[in-house]
């Protein structure tokens, strides 16, 4: 399977999960999705990551995002592990963990990187929009836990830039100034789209307050 690239359609699948059999497209509906893989159940870094995901359920919900996890362990192990996650991370896991025992989904999403491990899935993240397009990917080694503040930041950027003709600069976070995309040059359109005005540092670098704030 070729590596999935930005803009590709996220493959559909039916697979067992901690919440029973799951059809990915049906489960996702018209929501954004954060789909992230784990090397194995009952591992320390993954335990903290799934706990953090559960703790951020309100942040995901207000952005219209559904999280879903995956490892190659069976659903029975997932259910046992969830008890540990809830206990040690003081939270309640309220999203499915795909039980990819036959690696069907791992193969679809190219989650087995043989030079890292021939058996365990890498620590990948796919941010998928309501049209099932892959909008962002991040891949970490098994030893490095993900930064969920960054995942939320990327979602905020994608949702903002989908609805306004802007891009988000370095280290941007929700509420910061943004930049106007270079293709907008007409003064009337600039005035209409950016009534708060903008600062032209260079003709191609125009800074404006976040339009939806």
CATH number of the domain encompassing residue 111? 3.40.30.10
Q: According to the model, what pLDDT value does residue 58 have?
A: 96
Q: Are residues 131 and 60 in the same domain?
A: yes
pLDDT band at 118 (very low <50, low <70, confident <90, very high): very low
Active site residues: 46
Q: Looking at the whole model, is its pTM more than 0.85?
A: yes
pLDDT of 112 above 70? no
Q: How far apart are CA 173 and CA 155, in angstroms?
A: 10
Q: According to the model, what pLDDT value does residue 94 have?
A: 95
Does the residue 5 lie in any domain? no
Q: According to the model, what pLDDT value does residue 79 have?
A: 95
pLDDT band at 141 (very low <50, low <70, confident <90, very high): confident
Domain total in the chain: 2
Q: According to the model, what pLDDT value does residue 55 have?
A: 96
Q: How far apart are CA 197 and CA 208, in angstroms?
A: 6
Does the residue 151 lie in any domain? no
What is the residue range of 190's domain? 164-208
Domain boundary among 146, 172, 194: 146
Nearest to 126 by CA among 9, 2, 42: 9
pLDDT mean over 165-177: 96
Q: Are residues 52 and 112 in the same domain?
A: yes
Does the residue 6 lie in any domain? no
Nearest to 123 by CA among 1, 55, 57, 35: 35
pLDDT mean over 9-25: 96
Domain boundary among 146, 177, 195: 146
pLDDT mean over 125-144: 93
Q: How far apart are CA 83 and CA 52, in angstroms?
A: 15
- Residue 96: burial class (beta carbons within 10 Å; 0-12, 13-18, 19+): buried
- Tokens 């070729």 correspond to 2
Q: How far apart are CA 178 and CA 10, in angstroms?
A: 29
Does the residue 2 lie in any domain? no
Does the residue 156 lie in any domain? no
Contacting residues for 154 by C-beta, under 8 A, at least 6 apart: 127, 136, 138
Nearest to 71 by CA among 61, 81, 59: 81
Does the residue 103 lie in any domain? yes
Structure tokens at 73: 């362990």
pLDDT band at 4 (very low <50, low <70, confident <90, very high): confident
Q: Are residues 84 and 114 in the same domain?
A: yes
Q: According to the model, what pLDDT value does residue 103 have?
A: 87
Q: Are residues 67 and 135 in the same domain?
A: yes
Which is it for strands 65-71 and 97-99: parallel, antiparallel or unpaired? parallel
pLDDT tens string 33-90: 999 998 889 999 999 999 999 999 999 999 999 999 998 899 999 999 999 999 999 9
pLDDT of 171 above 70? yes
Contacting residues for 35 by C-beta, under 8 A, at least 6 apart: 10, 67, 68, 69, 70, 109, 125, 126, 128
Does the residue 157 lie in any domain? no
Domain boundary among 146, 178, 194: 146
Q: According to the model, what pLDDT value does residue 24 have?
A: 97
Q: Are residues 135 and 72 in the same domain?
A: yes
């Amino acid at each position: 399977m070729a590596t999935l690239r930005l803009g590709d359609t996220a493959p559909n699948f039916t697979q067992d999960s901690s919440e029973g059999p799951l059809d990915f497209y049906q489960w996702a509906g018209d929501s954004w999705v954060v789909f992230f893989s784990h090397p194995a159940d009952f591992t320390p870094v993954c335990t903290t990551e799934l706990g953090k995901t559960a703790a951020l359920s309100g942040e995901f919900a207000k952005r219209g995002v559904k999280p879903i996890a995956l490892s190659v362990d069976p659903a029975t192990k997932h259910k046992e592990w969830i008890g540990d996650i809830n206990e040690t991370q003081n939270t309640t896991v309220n999203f499915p963990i795909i039980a990819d025992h036959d690696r069907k989904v791992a193969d679809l999403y190219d989650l087995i990187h043989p030079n890292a491990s021939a058996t365990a899935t890498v620590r990948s993240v796919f941010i998928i929009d309501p049209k099932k397009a892959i909008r962002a990917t991040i891949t970490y080694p098994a030893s490095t836990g993900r930064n969920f503040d960054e995942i939320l930041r990327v979602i905020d950027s994608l949702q903002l830039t989908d609805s306004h003709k802007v891009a988000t600069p370095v280290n941007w976070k929700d509420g910061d100034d943004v930049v106007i995309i270079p293709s907008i040059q007409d003064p009337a359109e600039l005035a209409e789209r950016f009534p708060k005005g903008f600062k032209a540092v260079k003709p191609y670098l125009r800074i404006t307050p976040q339009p939806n704030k």
